């Protein structure tokens, strides 16, 4: 087992999920209640990335096909920001706020070409609607689609390309 080292999320940040008119809302005042927790990652950056990718694919296997439900946070139904919040907490030990809007205010904005496993990817799916997912690798991200439920999509898909807003590293 490789030696581990605790670092602040760094590599880990969520890609994106699917549309949603805000993915539920909680007041911005509550943002101060969310603190990024340290995540134990292996010493080697390549091993860290592999570990994050493994955990994210594992989450996909466990949740694949779970239907989209606005405000949902269970296998009965889940929305984009709820899925991102649950994934970060259960697989990466990081607590995030509940809404896509709140999640978009965390971390450091990065360029699409800089994406690494765990980075959050955000989309504008309507005038006031935001969608969030978690970047995996090779232009793929994990999210909740209204049509397919929990799924993996591609950033270079015509729809997602046109809706892309920004990427964030926590």
10 Å Cβ neighbour count for 166?
15
Query: Rounded distance, CA 62 to CA 50, Å?
Result: 18
How far is residue 147 from each of residues 19, 91, 114, measured CA to CA in Å?
10, 25, 29
Closest Cα partner for 63 from 42, 85, 48?
A: 85
Catalytically annotated residue among 60, 101, 140, 143: 143
**List of residues 6+ apart from 19 with CB closer than 8 A:** 80, 123, 125, 126, 129, 131, 146, 163
| Confidence (pLDDT) at 15 | 30
Task: Name the pLDDT band for 133 (thresholds 50, 70, 90).
Answer: very high
Query: Rounded distance, CA 59 to CA 26, Å?
Result: 25
For 51-99, the pLDDT digits (tens) are: 999 999 999 999 999 999 999 999 999 999 999 999 999 998 999 999 9
Please check whether residue 4 lies inside any domain of the structure.
no
Please check whether residue 142 lies inside any domain of the structure.
yes
Query: Rounded distance, CA 130 to CA 101, Å?
Result: 7
Is the pLDDT score of 25 beyond 60? no
Please check whether residue 2 lies inside any domain of the structure.
no
Catalytically annotated residue among 80, 110, 117, 134: 80
Please check whether residue 111 lies inside any domain of the structure.
yes
Please check whether residue 154 lies inside any domain of the structure.
yes
Q: Please calculate the CA angle 170-152-165 and round it to the nearest 5 degrees.
A: 50
Query: Rounded distance, CA 131 to CA 122, Å?
Result: 6
Helix, coil or strand: residue 2: coil
Angle of helix 45-63 versus helix 80-92 axis, rounded to 10 = 130
Query: Rounded distance, CA 17 to CA 22, Å?
Result: 12
How far is residue 19 from each of residues 121, 162, 163, measured CA to CA in Å?
12, 13, 9
Please check whether residue 114 lies inside any domain of the structure.
yes
- Please confirm, yes or no, whether 60 is among the known catalytic residues: no
Q: Give the domain CATH number at 122.
A: 3.90.1720.10
- Please confirm, yes or no, whether 23 is among the known catalytic residues: no
For 117-127, the pLDDT digits (tens) are: 999 999 999 99
Please check whether residue 91 lies inside any domain of the structure.
yes
Q: Which domain holds residue 128?
A: 9-25+35-169
Is the pLDDT score of 33 beyond 70? no
- Please confirm, yes or no, whether 80 is among the known catalytic residues: yes
Domain count, the chain: 1
**List of residues 6+ apart from 27 with CB closer than 8 A:** none
Please check whether residue 131 lies inside any domain of the structure.
yes
């Amino acid at each position: 087992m490789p030696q581990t080292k605790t670092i602040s999320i760094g590599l880990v940040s969520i890609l994106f999920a699917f549309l949603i008119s805000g993915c539920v809302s909680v007041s911005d005042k509550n943002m101060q209640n969310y603190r990024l927790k340290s995540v134990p990652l292996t010493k080697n950056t390549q091993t860290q990335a592999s570990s994050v990718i493994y955990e994210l694919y594992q989450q996909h296997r466990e949740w694949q096909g779970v239907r989209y439900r606005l405000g949902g946070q269970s296998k009965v139904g889940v929305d984009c920001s709820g899925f991102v919040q649950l994934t970060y907490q259960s697989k990466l030990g990081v607590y995030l706020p509940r809404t896509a809007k709140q999640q978009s205010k965390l971390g450091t904005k990065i360029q699409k070409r800089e994406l690494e496993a765990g980075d959050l990817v955000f989309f504008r799916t309507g005038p006031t609607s935001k969608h969030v997912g978690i970047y995996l690798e090779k232009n793929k991200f994990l999210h909740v689609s209204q049509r397919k439920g929990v799924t993996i999509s591609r950033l270079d898909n015509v729809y997602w390309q046109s809706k892309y807003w920004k990427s964030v590293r926590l």
